[in-house]
Amino acid sequence: MEMPKLTIGNVTARLPIVQGGMAVKISLSPLAAAVAQAGGIGVIAGSGLEPEELANELRAARAQTDGVIAVNIMVAVSAFKELVHVAIREGADLIIAGAGFSRDVFTWCREADIPMVPIVGSERVAQLSERFGASAVIVEGVEAGGHLGTDEPMETLLPRIINSVNIPVIGAGGVVTGDDIKRVLDAGAAGVQMGTRFAATKESSAPEAFKQMYVDAKDEDIVLIQSPVGLPGRALANPFTRLLDSGERQRIERCVTCLKKCGKDFCIMDKLIRAQEGDVEGGLVFSGAAATRIHDIPSVSDLMERLVSEWQLASGGASA
C-alpha cells in the first residue's frame, strides 16, 4: 500500500508530507533537500535571511536533490517582496506565506507560474486565498509551533475549510507520527505539514541543545508567548520565556527593522538567532504542542521511512 501523492498546482510530491518552514535558520538547505529527496516537500525558511543568503540556500538544495523545494516567508517581514522575488528567480517550486496576508504575492507567483500556498486559520482567509489564485492552503491549528493565527484546533478547522474551498487543503499542527498523518488524510486533507518533528532531525540546522529540548520536553514545558509580530507564539519554556512571563520589559539593544510592524516588546530576530546559535536559555525555541511525543533525533531518511511504515500499519497494510 502506497501513500497518496500530493499535487499542488503544477507540482507533485511522491509523499503527502510538507516539512514546515522554521525560522530563523532552522530549516535550511540540508533539511529541505533531505525531505525532498525522501519524497516530501522540503521547505527553506526565508524569514530572517538576507536575499543573497536565501539564493545560496536554494542553490545548495538544488545541488543535492531534484525533489520538490519550497520557500516559506512571513508576510510580516520587511524584506518579504525581495525574498519572494529571489525565491522565484532561483527556481523555488512553491511559495508558502504566513503571518499576514499579501495580495501582491499571488500576482508575482501567477506571473512566474509558481504555485502560491498561504497558511490560513479561517474559512474566510482560505476562500479569499482561493479567489486570489492560491494553488492550495495550509490549515495551521493552534497545536502548531511558532506564530499562531488561530486559537482553534486543527481537527476543528480542517473540515470547515475543506468544505469551503475547491483547492487542496493541507493540515498542520500536532502531526508527529504516521498515525497522525492517517488521521488528517482520513479527515479529507490532501497532505500534512510537520514542523517540530523535522526540527529534531540530524539535518535540521538547530543546534544539538535545541533539538534535545524537544526530546526532553514535558507538558509543562510548552508555553505561549506574545510575539512582537503581533501574534501569539508557542515555544519551550526557558529562562527567557519566564522573564517574559514576569512582565519585565526587554531592552532592545539593536534594531534591524526586520518587521513591517513591531510591538517592540523584545527583538524577535535577536532571540530566534540566539537559540539557533546555541543559546537555548537566552533565546526563543519555538515548538509545536506535540513536542512531548518526540523521543529521538533521527535522520530525515529514517524518519520518512518510519512515517510511511506507521501510516501503512494504521491503514491496515504491511509495513514497508
Helices within 142-222 (DSSP H only): 154-164, 178-186, 196-199, 208-216
1 is a domain residue: no
Q: Which DSSP letter does residue 206 get? A: S
Does the structure show a pLDDT above 90 at 225?
A: no
Q: Are residues 44 and 73 in the same domain?
A: yes
Does the structure show a pLDDT above 90 at 267?
A: no
272 is a domain residue: yes
212 is a domain residue: yes
Structural domain for 10, as ranges? 6-206+296-314
Residue 88 contacts residue 55 (beta carbons within 8 Å): no
Q: Can you tell me the mean pLDDT for 211-229? A: 92
pLDDT of residue 269: 83
In this structure, the chain runs to a length of 320
227 is a domain residue: yes
Of 253, 281, 255, 266, the closest CA to residue 227 belongs to 266
117 prior amide bond cis, ω within 30: no
At 256, the pLDDT band (50, 70, 90 cuts) reads low
Please name every residue paired with 222 in a beta bridge, in sequence order, or none if there are none: 236
Q: Note the pLDDT tens digit of each residue in 36-75.
A: 999 999 999 999 899 999 999 999 999 999 999 999 999 8
Q: Are residues 136 and 18 in the same domain?
A: yes
Angle between helices 154-164 and 123-132 (to 10 degrees): 40
pLDDT of residue 254: 67
Q: Are residues 165 and 47 in the same domain?
A: yes
Does the structure show a pLDDT above 50 at 320?
A: no
Q: Are residues 212 and 202 in the same domain?
A: no
pLDDT of residue 229: 76
Site of grid cell 510537520: 194
Does the structure show a pLDDT above 60 at 202?
A: yes
Q: Are residues 180 and 234 in the same domain?
A: no
Q: Are residues 62 and 26 in the same domain?
A: yes
CA distance 182 to 179: 5
At 201, the pLDDT band (50, 70, 90 cuts) reads very high
Cell digits of residue 178: 504516521
Residue 139 contacts residue 120 (beta carbons within 8 Å): yes
Q: Is the pTM of this model over 0.85?
A: yes
At 193, the pLDDT band (50, 70, 90 cuts) reads very high
Q: Note the pLDDT tens digit of each residue in 282-292.
A: 999 999 999 99
Q: Note the pLDDT tens digit of each residue in 106-140.
A: 999 999 999 999 999 899 999 999 999 999 999 99
Q: Are residues 28 and 57 in the same domain?
A: yes
Q: Which strand (E) or helix (H) includes residue 73?
A: strand 68-74
Q: Which strand (E) or helix (H) includes residue 62?
A: helix 51-64
Q: State the pairing for strand pair 232-236/222-226.
A: antiparallel
Q: Are residues 170 and 235 in the same domain?
A: no
283 is a domain residue: yes
48 is a domain residue: yes
320 is a domain residue: no
Q: Are residues 19 and 90 in the same domain?
A: yes
Q: Are residues 236 and 251 in the same domain?
A: yes
How many domains does the structure of the chain reveal?
Answer: 2
Q: Are residues 127 and 233 in the same domain?
A: no
At 197, the pLDDT band (50, 70, 90 cuts) reads very high
Q: Are residues 178 and 83 in the same domain?
A: yes
CA distance 92 to 102: 18
75 is a domain residue: yes
CATH of the domain at 113: 3.20.20.70
